[in-house]
């Protein structure tokens, strides 16, 4: 695993150019230690996905970075500040999308976003003014619901509004906790496009959690896997897949029978297959392992 990690710092070293920088993060609830020395770095403009099994501490980690929860120990900096001590100007530079919201039901969608945008204006960088409410409503696909009360939105529409609330201030760092839960396929695709625009055009740093590995693969510049209270893998989706799931699955038919074989050397196996059976080989398919295979291999290794 040591060769896989892409971080360039030495243990205990501080990366002053990082948007998010964590060293030795620990969190204990009573006698239960949830986080046992988490180290992670997210650089400006990166989209980083935090994966892990239920109970691994993903939401706890995010809440500490947002300043909602004080850690038991460790060094934590977001935009150069210790989150639990961040002031209003610092908070105005963050965007947060929690797993669910349960307020503002009587407000019309556009009026709510316009109202929230005004809170960011005194702290806004002239180069990053809050989003125009109508532009934002269109970006999240709620143009037809702009005058509708929040309480009357469907679950998927309400989730789109949650995302809009999180980014209305045009944040430098955006935290997304299960942002597409309840989205239909089109809404999910639109959200992915929005994340890429925020990262590419606004240079927004994004840290998100998800259980959707396909989503993680589409969005992430880097994936962090949290298991056993620590970051156990750190790399691009492709690098994680290649490092932890080397096997390929070869499928073929011959004389009406179907065969499946797992191998580390698909090219060599297929070459030998044709050398033995020639044109009798049909329906040949080589399936490379994906991110899901790599993720399961990593988690199972940590749990064994």
What residue segments make up the domains of the chain, in order of their start? Answer: 1-93+172-187+197-242, 102-170, 243-303
Confidence of residue 278 (pLDDT cuts 50, 70, 90): very high
Rounded (5°) CA angle 138-142-143? 60
CA 118, 121, 124, 126 torsion-angle sign: positive
Q: What is the pTM of this model?
A: 0.82
Lowest mean pLDDT among 17-26, 81-90, 174-183: 174-183
Alpha carbon 110 to chain centroid distance? 27
Q: Is 70 exceeded by the pLDDT of residue 15?
A: no
∠ CA 303-231-247 to the nearest 5 degrees?
Answer: 60
**Low-confidence winner among 4-8, 29-33, 102-106 (lowest mean pLDDT):** 4-8
CA-nearest of 14, 25, 16, 17 to 224 is 25
**Which contacts (CB < 8 Å, 24+ apart) does range 156-164 have?**
156/182, 156/183, 156/184, 156/187, 158/101, 159/183, 159/187, 160/187, 160/191, 161/109, 161/112, 162/97, 162/98, 162/100, 162/101, 163/97, 163/191, 163/194, 164/113, 164/136, 164/137, 164/139, 164/140
Question: Which one of 25-29, 266-270, 289-293 scores highest in mean pLDDT?
Answer: 25-29
**Which of 18-32, 38-52, 195-209 shows the lowest mean pLDDT across its residues?**
195-209
Residue 167 has pLDDT above 60, yes or no: yes
From the list 55, 73, 64, 53, the residue with the least C-alpha distance to 20 is 64
Sorting pLDDT into bands at 50, 70 and 90, what band is 16? low
- Measured CA to CA, the distance from residue 12 to residue 207 in angstroms comes to 22
Predicted pLDDT of residue 14: 52
| pLDDT interval class at 11 (50, 70, 90) | very low
Q: Is the pLDDT of residue 50 over 80?
A: yes
User: Which numeric CATH code is attached to 1-93+172-187+197-242?
Assistant: 3.40.50.300
> Rounded to an integer, what distance in angstroms lies between the CA atom of residue 300 and that of residue 295?
8
Kindly give the residue spans of alpha helices, DSSP state H, lying in 177-236: 185-201, 213-219
Average pLDDT rounded to a whole number, residues 228-256: 87
For 76-94, what is each residue's pLDDT tens digit?
Answer: 999 999 999 999 999 999 9
């Amino acid at each position: 695993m040591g060769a896989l990690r892409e971080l360039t710092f030495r243990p205990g070293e501080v990366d002053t150019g990082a948007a998010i920088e964590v060293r030795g993060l620990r969190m204990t609830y009573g006698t239960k230690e949830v986080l046992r020395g988490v180290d992670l770095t997210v650089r400006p403009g990166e989209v980083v996905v935090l994966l892990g099994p239920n109970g691994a501490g993903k939401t706890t980690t995010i809440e500490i970075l947002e300043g909602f929860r004080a850690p038991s120990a460790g060094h934590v900096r977001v935009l150069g500040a210790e989150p639990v001590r961040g002031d209003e100007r610092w908070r105005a530079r963050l965007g947060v999308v929690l797993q669910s919201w349960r307020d503002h039901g009587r407000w019309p969608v556009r009026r709510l976003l316009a109202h929230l945008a005004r809170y960011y204006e005194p702290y806004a960088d002239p180069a990053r003014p809050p989003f125009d409410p109508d532009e934002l409503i269109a970006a999240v696909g709620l143009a037809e619901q702009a005058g509708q009360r929040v309480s009357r939105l469907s679950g998927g529409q309400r989730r789109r509004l949650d995302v809009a609330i999180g980014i209305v201030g045009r944040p430098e760092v955006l935290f997304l906790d299960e942002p597409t839960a309840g989205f239909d396929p089109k809404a999910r695709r639109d959200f992915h496009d929005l994340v890429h625009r925020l990262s590419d055009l606004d240079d927004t740093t994004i840290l998100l959690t998800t259980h959707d590995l396909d989503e993680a693969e589409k969005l992430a510049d880097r994936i962090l896997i949290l298991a056993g209270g620590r970051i156990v893998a750190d790399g691009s989706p492709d690098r994680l897949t290649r490092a932890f799931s080397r096997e390929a699955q070869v499928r073929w038919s011959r004389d009406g029978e179907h065969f499946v074989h797992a191998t580390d050397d698909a090219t060599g196996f297929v070459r030998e297959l044709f050398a033995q059976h020639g044109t009798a080989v049909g329906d040949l398919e080589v399936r490379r392992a994906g991110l899901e295979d790599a993720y399961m291999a990593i988690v199972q290794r940590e749990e064994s």
